[in-house]
Amino acid sequence: MNASTETHYDLIVIGGGSGGLAAAFRAAEHGARVALCEPDALGGTCVNVGCVPKKAMWLAADVGMKLELARTLGFDLPAAELDWPTFVVHRQRYIHNIHESYRRRLDEAGIVVSASRVRLRDAQTVVCANGIAMRGERLLIATGGRPHRPDVPGAELGGVSDDVFHWTAPPPRVAIVGAGYIAVELAGVLQALGSRVEVFGRGDRLLAGFDAELAVQLAEDYRQAGVQLHFGYGLDAVERDADDEGLRLRDVAGGVSERFDALLFATGRRANTADLGLEAAGVALDDKGRIVVDAANETTIESVYAVGDVTTDPALTPVAIAAARRLMDRLYAGGTALLDRKDIPTAVFSHPPLASVGLTEEDARAQHGDAVRAYRAGFRPMLHALADSPQRSLFKLVCVGDERRVVGIHLLGEGADEILQGFAVALKRGITLDDLRDTVAIHPTSAEEVVLMR
């Protein structure tokens, strides 16, 4: 940890997750004197209990699924089962290396690190848990969010997404309450790594907010993989099984589920704004407890800024990083660029992955009415067709107007997460359907379906 007797800084960053670190590094590059306050592991949710360990588990699950396909195609392989403790060692080594990289860069940049929880005393002062005060010309709040449990009896018996990364073996039967992207990702990974998974969602489909047709196809892919899906489900209570340590779910109609060995809640996240002293500084929150920011990531107080999941911005790691860097460029280098919050690409690491940028067909029709045309390509990717696997892909373009400008690209299938990044650039540049059709396809690939769509 860095040490310094300096108690006055140009910038004090509260939170050492992706957004906070990005801000600290960029501000230091511009010559600012920076202090970073983080009482827990550097990297925040993304590095420690989110994007990074989740993707590691997704990759392990993907390898396991491909081994199954390999046996079908004629490879003489024994049945393979993941040794979780061995895998966890590799995963945590990878995360440890990220921590070490952060520490080295913080030292090199001269950023003072305080491993302490802090509260705002006023709009330019924070007080550490040991009573030491630090004053900054500007404060940046980047404290992220945390998983939320529903307010039902017995909720404490269930875990949340963070808890999965402490497991050393797959529970035989897992219930997941929720149907958003965290629930979908956990369901796919755990089913592929040996658990029998059931998903209980309040709505009528997976992934509300994503394109409905792709969500329906993903649900079918999950059913084919053995995941049981329950929609329109209202949870009333969680109960201990009468005979052992298992759990059962009771619904609002009084029905009781089968026994589960583990329960995970994927019912949303809440901003970490409690006990920060925001009221003392006059920082406004919305009705969900998030810090209200404008397009420039400014709060209602002139010297206080906020980025990431603690704000009303989209809760995505790259959004926090991009917003933080642009903010520091404006504050310390005369920059003028704001984060463009329109057409932000995102991926759900389901099996197969789902990637999306721009408007869904539903949203496009709400904005543009009859000027919307949608184009689709449903197919089995070559590997799954060779192995006669039932998994299917669905690619979709949403276009508007006589020029058929592409306003939405939605991909479900092998490699969708990698394919979309380049097409997201094209969408932001105003590409049309004819532009795509004028591009020669790379054959045989899944990606060619985007430029061959009729």
- DSSP structure string for 123-142: TTEEEETTS-EEEEEEEEE-
Where do the H-state alpha helices sit in 211-261? 212-225
Count of CB atoms situated within 10 Å of the CB of 87: 16
Which token pair is 94?
């990878």
Give ∠ CA 254-258-261 in degrees, rounded to 5: 125
Q: Nearest to residue 182, comparing CAs of 414, 354, 410, 350?
A: 350
Beta bridge partners of 298: 305
Q: Which residues of 359-386 are buried (b: 16+ CB within 10 A; e: fewer)?
A: bbbebbbeebeeebebbebeebbeebee
The radius of gyration of the chain's CA atoms, rounded to the nearest angstrom, is: 24
At 71, is the secondary structure helix, strand, or coil? helix
At 452, is the secondary structure helix, strand, or coil? helix
Kindly report the backbone phi and psi dihedral angles of residue 373, in degrees, each rounded to the nearest multiple of 5, phi listed first: -130, 135
CA distance 132 to 121: 11
Q: Sheet of 159-160: strands edge to edge?
A: 159-160, 262-265, 173-177, 196-200, 228-230
Q: Is 443 a catalytic residue?
A: yes
Q: How far apart are the first and last CA of the chain?
A: 58
Which token pair is 74?
């004629």
Residue 387, CA distances (Å) to 350, 384, 415 in order? 20, 5, 18
Amino acid identity, position 35: A
- DSSP structure string for 186-233: HHHHHHHTT-EEEEE-SSSSSSBTB-HHHHHHHHHHHHHHT-EEE-S-
At 170, is the secondary structure helix, strand, or coil? coil
Q: Any residues with CB less than 8 A from the CB of 375 and at least 6 apart, and which?
A: 396, 397, 399, 433, 453, 454
Q: Contact 69/389 with Cβ under 8 angstroms?
A: yes
Q: Nearest to residue 206, comparing CAs of 185, 192, 237?
A: 185
Beta bridge partners of 247: 240, 260
CA distance 213 to 216: 5
Q: Contact 6/30 with Cβ under 8 angstroms?
A: no
From the candidates 8, 30, 351, 443, give the one annotated as an active-site residue: 443
Active site residues: 443
